[in-house]
């Protein structure tokens, strides 16, 4: 039975987070050519929040699902991706969209391993093919796919180790491997079709200093001298500000239940193979990618078996994060990397002397 009230409250919470990020972006001032990336970012943010809500409700019920959605919606690094500096707007929008694709791929893959089916394998393959979008703008298009490959092996191991007593582990491992193999075949097929149909230059061509076209502008948000005459509205924050600290704190304090062992192990594997992998690769945390999984892990803090004071303390942490999101508006720390390149032919830098 669908809990309509929980879904309505969760949708309102996710919409409130998107409203904070969207209004912050408008307040900071986006050029007219960059409204489309803002819309893309808002769609990705709301879709990710709704998926976090759905998955949290499936695993924890009303309290845990709503808390997970709130933790995601009001995390500063997620809001920072939406309210990225105007010249970094495409990076922000695509990063949030890539976060949704990443979470959708993990969700479909884990569901496919629990109940192998062609439908879930196809959904997982489509989501995997879209995952590199966010990291492509950061010059590391292959990194998420490498993380997904490692995660796929980890999920097969998790499903095999947590098989029920009535299940043969060998057959479970075989079914899991075949399902994810089909998903990867779909993702590879989509990638090959996109490569054949596309005539866009590669990321290396954009990031190379010798081939940088006049229509492309590389901006370092922490170093205004990288773009003379352009003042960066959001400075790069220290790495703790780019992490979902509240969600990670609650995830560390959560209870662990045997009946959730597959889901818990899968989420931990996703956090390590996706978020931490990008952190090691970039040298700074990919907090936007880590936030949905961390929020889902934290949802266990609202288990009915926990003491009332523990649940109230967890609720207080979420409330404090929401208050912090309101106080930090519109300049949120963290989010999109400051050295993200901007492949937008509609935006050109005009020197101060040439400005009208």
pTM of the predicted model as reported, rounded to 2 decimal places:
0.79
Residues with Cβ within 8 Å of residue 107, at least 6 apart in sequence: 51, 55
Mean per-residue pLDDT for 25-52?
79
Mean per-residue pLDDT for 164-182?
84
> What's the gap between Cα 160 and its chain centre?
27
Question: How high is the pLDDT of residue 53?
Answer: 93
Per-residue pLDDT of 100-123, as tens digits, reads: 888 998 999 898 888 878 888 888
Mean per-residue pLDDT for 51-70?
92
Where exactly are the structural domains of the chain? 4-342
Mean per-residue pLDDT for 334-346?
49
pLDDT at 159 over 90: no
pLDDT at 64 over 60: yes
Mean per-residue pLDDT for 292-306?
92
**DSSP labels, 132-157:** HHHHHTTT-THHHHHHHHHHHHHHHH
Question: How high is the pLDDT of residue 189?
Answer: 87
Question: How high is the pLDDT of residue 239?
Answer: 57
Looking at the DSSP assignment, which residues form a beta bridge with residue 342?
217
Distance CA 128, CA 133 (A): 10
pLDDT at 319 over 90: yes
Question: How high is the pLDDT of residue 144?
Answer: 73
- Taking a C-beta distance cutoff of 8 angstroms, is the pair 116, 178 a contact? yes
Per-residue pLDDT of 227-273, as tens digits, reads: 444 444 434 445 566 778 889 899 998 988 888 889 999 999 998 88
pLDDT at 280 over 70: no
pLDDT band at 343 (very low <50, low <70, confident <90, very high): very low
Mean per-residue pLDDT for 190-204?
66
Question: How high is the pLDDT of residue 344?
Answer: 41
225 or 45: which carries more pLDDT confidence? 45
> Dihedrals φ, ψ of 349, to 5°?
-80, 135
Distance CA 233, CA 258 (A): 47
Question: How high is the pLDDT of residue 27?
Answer: 80
Question: How high is the pLDDT of residue 134?
Answer: 60
Residues with Cβ within 8 Å of residue 190, at least 6 apart in sequence: 125, 126, 129
pLDDT at 50 over 70: yes
Mean per-residue pLDDT for 71-94?
73
Nearest to 342 by CA among 241, 252, 212: 212
Q: For 18-32, 59-73, 207-221, 230-244, which range has the lowest pLDDT when averaged over its residues?
A: 207-221
- Taking a C-beta distance cutoff of 8 angstroms, is the pair 226, 220 a contact? yes
Distance CA 309, CA 292 (A): 25
26 or 343: which carries more pLDDT confidence? 26
Contacts 24+ apart (CB under 8 A), 18-22: 18/42, 18/45, 18/46, 18/49, 18/73, 18/82, 20/74, 20/79, 20/325, 20/326, 20/329, 21/45, 21/78, 21/79, 21/81, 21/82, 21/83, 21/332, 22/82, 22/83
pLDDT at 2 over 70: no
Angle at 69 between CA 67 and CA 73, to 5 degrees: 120
pLDDT at 311 over 50: yes
């Amino acid at each position: 039975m669908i809990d309509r009230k929980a879904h309505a409250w969760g949708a309102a919470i996710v919409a409130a987070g998107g409203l904070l990020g969207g209004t912050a972006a408008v307040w900071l001032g986006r050029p007219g050519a960059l409204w489309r990336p803002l819309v893309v970012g808002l769609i990705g943010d709301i879709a990710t929040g709704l998926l976090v809500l759905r998955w949290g409700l499936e695993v924890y019920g009303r309290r845990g699902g709503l808390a997970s959605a709130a933790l995601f919606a009001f995390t500063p690094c997620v809001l920072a991706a939406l309210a990225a500096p105007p010249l970094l707007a495409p990076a922000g929008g695509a990063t949030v969209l890539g976060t949704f694709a990443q979470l959708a791929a993990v969700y479909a893959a884990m569901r496919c391993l629990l109940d192998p089916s062609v439908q879930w394998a196809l959904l997982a393959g489509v989501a995997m093919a879209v995952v590199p979008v966010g990291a492509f703008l950061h010059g590391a298009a292959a990194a998420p796919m490498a993380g997904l490959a490692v995660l796929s092996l980890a999920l097969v191991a998790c499903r095999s180790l947590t098989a029920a007593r009535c299940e043969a582990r060998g057959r479970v491992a075989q079914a899991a491997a075949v399902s994810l193999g089909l998903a990867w075949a779909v993702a590879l097929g989509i990638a090959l079709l996109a490569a054949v149909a596309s005539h866009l230059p590669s990321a290396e061509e954009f990031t190379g200093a010798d081939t940088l076209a006049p229509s492309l502008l590389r901006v370092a948000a922490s170093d205004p001298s990288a773009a003379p005459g352009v003042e960066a509205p959001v400075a790069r924050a220290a790495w703790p500000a780019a992490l979902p600290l509240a969600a990670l704190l609650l995830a560390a304090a959560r209870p662990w239940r045997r009946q959730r062992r597959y889901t818990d192990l899968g989420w931990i594997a996703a956090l390590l193979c996706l978020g931490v992998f990008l952190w090691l690769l970039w040298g700074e945390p990919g907090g936007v990618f880590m936030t949905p999984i961390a929020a889902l892990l934290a949802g266990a803090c609202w288990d009915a078996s926990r003491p009332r004071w523990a649940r109230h303390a967890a609720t207080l942490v979420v409330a404090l994060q929401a208050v912090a999101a309101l106080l930090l508006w519109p300049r949120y720390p963290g989010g999109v990397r400051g050295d993200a390149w901007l492949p937008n032919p509609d935006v050109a830098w005009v020197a101060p002397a040439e400005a009208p």
